[in-house]
Amino acid sequence: MTTKSRLSNFVFILLGAASVGLVVAVLALTGVLDRTERVVTAAPRPATATVAQTPAAAGSVADIYSKTQSAVAYVDAGQGSGSGFLIDGQGHVVTNDHVVEAGSSYKVRFGEDGSALDAKLIGKDPSTDLAVLQVDPSKVPAETKPLTLASSGELRPGDEAIAIGSPFGLSGTVTTGIISALDREIESPNGFPISGVLQTDAAINPGNSGGPLLDADGRVIGVNSQIASSSRQSSGVGFAIAVDTVKQVVPQLIKGGDIERAYLGVSSIAQPGESGAVVAAISPQGPAAGTDLQPGDKITQIGDTAVKTPSDLSTAVLESKPGERVTLKVDRNGQQRTIDVTLGQRPDQIQQQG
């Protein structure tokens, strides 16, 4: 798995932060699920406070937690569990695709003491690792208000980040940190890259999957999804799907429409010290296979968009439409070329590269 800033000199294991039947779900760099993590047979209950509580300072993490935790849900998927959060007044709950994939029937429990509510799957999108469940809105506790969505485009490295979820089944757990980096790229459950991802050092562990990453105002800036670790536990390198992606995908899932994405059929890598996306492989069934594009070509522009990194290429393709004809500017052994490609529609699973 690649990010825009290559994580070299370490062997990282990428974990989906969902708990699978109390067995930690581990997504290796190849995207293969490793179920060999230790089994947690009984999670400890949170200790009951015995000291007097003092009011939280306005704007503090404690204040943000008290205002938002009731909308954060523990999601039971039967064979696994994760987290989620209420997004509107119709009972829609956002979570991860890899959380709902852990089962076929679902229950949602808001806050630490809420009742388990039956939920139905409204839609899921493996390409962005997002899914939407729905509970009967009349059964949502009156004090549970939908979380407010911010804009991930306004974020800066160093901004505060607050994660709330159910790591190892411990619902209502809050951790804090900062936005460590922006515009990372991780691998989705169906093998395609997810671009624009947020990196955070707020502790994220199995069971945090699908829970919200909040800003200093308690607004959602991302959906916690994966961690990178060499020890199968939080190492301070976590990844959240950016809220701008959530705002684009979730309304389509709620409407029940199919999400159609443009597809070039090219995997690319960065060349250290140089700008551009170097073609690593071309899918034999993809749109680029019928053109003059070759492995080793460095794509420097697509349409009017400059390509400085592989993520730039992925983003530009996703911002296009299936059937759209685009022009690639390519550097091949120092010679400049232009190649026209008619974009296709992305398949459900990544195709084997030739």
Higher pLDDT, 151 or 6: 151
Rounded distance between C-alpha atoms, residue 42 and residue 59, angstroms = 35
Rounded distance between C-alpha atoms, residue 339 and residue 290, angstroms = 11
**pLDDT, tens digit, for every residue of 296-309?**
999 999 999 999 99
Check residue 246 and give its pLDDT. Answer: 97
Task: Respond yes or no: is residue 98 known to be catalytic.
Answer: yes
Task: Respond yes or no: is residue 76 known to be catalytic.
Answer: no
Task: Respond yes or no: is residue 129 known to be catalytic.
Answer: yes
The predicted model scores a pTM of 0.79
Backbone angles phi, psi at 6, to 5 degrees: -65, 130
Q: Catalytic residue among 97, 129, 215, 312, which?
A: 129
Q: Catalytic residue among 209, 229, 235, 311, which?
A: 209
CATH no. of 8-41+62-259? 2.40.10.120
Q: Where in the chain is the domain with CATH 2.40.10.120?
A: 8-41+62-259
Q: Catalytic residue among 98, 127, 171, 283, which?
A: 98
**pLDDT, tens digit, for every residue of 88-113?**
999 999 999 999 999 999 999 998 88
CATH no. of 262-345? 2.30.42.10
**pLDDT, tens digit, for every residue of 129-153?**
999 999 999 999 998 999 999 999 8
Backbone angles phi, psi at 261, to 5 degrees: -125, 145
Non-local CB neighbours of 50 within 8 Å, separated by 6+ positions: none
